A = this chain, B = another copy of it.
Amino acid sequence: MSLSIGALARQAGVAIDTVRYYERKGLLAPAGRLASGYRRYGIEEIKQLRFIRRAKALGFSLDDIRELLAVSAERDVARVRRAAQHKLGEIEQRIAELEGIRVGLRALIDECPGHGHADACPILNALSKEPDV
């Protein structure tokens, strides 16, 4: 059984252009071709595209994923685990940043009466006042 690029894209839930883009970026090996030049795919490529989708959903970049695919082909479990841990660290850091912003913004909103003088609005004051951030 073999698939056209359109059929593959449908099966994997991505756009045709995305499949070609991933090939250019090295996330998919160059596809086999018919005499006409049409790409042909098998079951493996569906799996690989789904792998890519799931890894993206976990926050991995395409560069990360190319690494991950190489490492998983080597069946190097320890490296896969380290990569996952590294990504987890990045995600936790991003969460911490956003938490800081959330707390700051929440405090300003809670202090702001939502009416009255602009000079008394803690949001505008926080953004405008002298002391440097």
Contacts and interface: CB of A to CB of B under 8 A. Distances in A.
A14 interface: no
Task: Specify how many copies of this chain sit in the oligomer.
Answer: 2
Given A80-B123, A112-B77, A105 B91 contact: yes
Interface of A: 13, 47, 50-51, 53-55, 57-59, 68, 72, 75-78, 80-81, 84-85, 87-88, 91-92, 94-95, 98-99, 101-102, 104-106, 108-109, 112-118, 120-121, 123-124, 126-128, 132-133
11 contacts: A57-B101, A58-B101, A59-B101, A68-B127, A77-B113, A77-B114, A77-B118, A77-B121, A84-B109, A88-B106, A91-B102
